[in-house]
Amino acid sequence: MQRNLKLRLRIVVIVLIAAAAGFGGGVALASQPQMEGALRALMSAQNELERVTMNKGGHAARARALVAKAIAEVQSGIEFGRSQGY
């Protein structure tokens, strides 16, 4: 179970880095499939983190907070893109 959590946390970090790179690069997406895919992946990660029964020295709680923040950022990015017609 601990190995599975580590793998999922690595996936979360990769998704966060990818989302940050997309925001930093100012990439405009016509239909935003990457942003929507990132949102789905983050929501899946959030669901898994909610099921974690031990806090793992505070890391699980921090991961949940980071994923929640990433979800909010991706949603804001999608809304911005829609408002700009991309």
pLDDT above 70 coverage of the chain, percent: 78
pLDDT digits (tens, 9 = 90+) for 1-25: 567 777 777 777 677 666 665 554 4
Spatial contact of 78 and 35, defined as CB atoms under 8 Å apart: yes
The total of other beta-carbon atoms located within 10 Å of residue 78's CB is 17
Residue whose C-alpha is closest to residue 13's, from 74, 57, 70: 70
Reported confidence tier of residue 62, pLDDT bands at 50, 70, 90: very high
pTM: 0.65
- Side chain identity at residue 38, one-letter code: A
CA atoms within 13 A on the CB side of 3: 0
Residue 38 has φ and ψ, to the nearest 5°, of -65, -40
